[in-house]
Amino acid sequence: GENVEQHPSTLSVQEGDSAVIKCTYSDSASNYFPWYKQELGKGPQLIIDIRSNVGEKKDQRIAVTLNKTAKHFSLHITETQPEDSAVYFCAASMNSGYSTLTFGKGTMLLVSP
């Protein structure tokens, strides 16, 4: 089955800096890669996703890149703010019908004012 590795497990940055979280996946059949933000005591919220036919996608301060050949994808957050502090999860799926998501172990991002 699919295996998703996520690094780093924790990331501390100063407000205004950029943050990068990286994930690798094992199953070349995976073609959908969402990123979720989870605040303490809440469920994960989808923040951005990318499909395998696209190499990069941006949404304001958030961007995701995908390298299909190397089977890795990354989340980039620019101009970080304290409210960006949360746990971020990457995931991968084949997205065929209602296939399951395989999650990375998560990255706790701490943005200091």
Partner 1 sequence: GAVVSQHPSWVICKSGTSVKIECRSLDFQATTMFWYRQFPKQSLMLMATSNEGSKATYEQGVEKDKFLINHASLTLSTLTVTSAHPEDSSFYICSASRPTLKGITEAFFGQGTRLTVV
**Residue 36 binding partner 1, by CB under 8 A:** yes
Contact between 49 and partner 1 per CB under 8 A: yes
Residues 81-100 that bind partner 1 (CB under 8 A): 89, 95, 97-100
The least CB distance from residue 46 to partner 1, in Å, is: 7
Q: Which residues pair with 22 in a beta bridge?
A: 7, 74
SS3 percent helix, strand, coil of the chain, rounded to 5, is: 5, 55, 40
Pick between residue 10 and residue 18 the one whose CB is nearest to partner 1. Answer: 10
Label the pairing between strands 86-92 and 32-38. Answer: antiparallel
